[in-house]
Amino acid sequence: MFFSVKYNKKIPPLKRGTKEKNYEHSYFHTLKGHNGCVSIILTEDQAVKFGKDGSLWEIGFLPSEKITGYYCNKCKSSYEYSPEICVFIRREKEGFFVELFYKCKECKKVLFFSDLQSPEGIDPKYIVLDETGDYVIPT
């Protein structure tokens, strides 16, 4: 067919995500959790890191602007907006650890959970708890 070659290009090998016209240099991926999945937008560099283990450990925090939607198993629905984002910074003997949760805005189920290497650069509006007191200025 006349346009078949062009059409085929729209279905690329999906290992590194789908590249689309409106999001040049963006790669679409999915964070898969027990209660659902979250659709994310990555840069090429992030997509390569994500491809290694499908986690956010190497990539770090993704704010709501980098999320296009999610599917919740409990609601059995997909939503075209970001889930609720909660970050907990917990104190430990040797420093701290950081937990990131993406929760369904409707039923509050945790869709995806990840540990993060660092809380650097996370907007305080997402930080629910900071036991170190270094990242959220007390009000």
Q: Which residue number, 90 or 108, has a Cβ lying nearer to Zn ion? A: 108
**How far is C-alpha 52 from the chain's CA centre?**
15
List 48, 107, 127, 128, residue binding Zn ion (CB under 5 A): 107
| Cα 139 from Cα 136, distance rounded (Å) | 9
Percent helix, strand and coil across the chain, each rounded to 5? Answer: 15, 45, 40
Choices 13-21, 45-53, 73-81, 86-94 (CB under 5 A): range interacting with Zn ion: 73-81
Q: Which residue number, 43 or 77, has a Cβ lying nearer to Zn ion? A: 77
Q: Kind of pairing, strands 18-20 and 84-92?
A: unpaired
List 45, 106, 115, 131, residue binding Zn ion (CB under 5 A): 106
Contacting residues toward Zn ion, per CB under 5 A: 72, 74-75, 104, 106-107
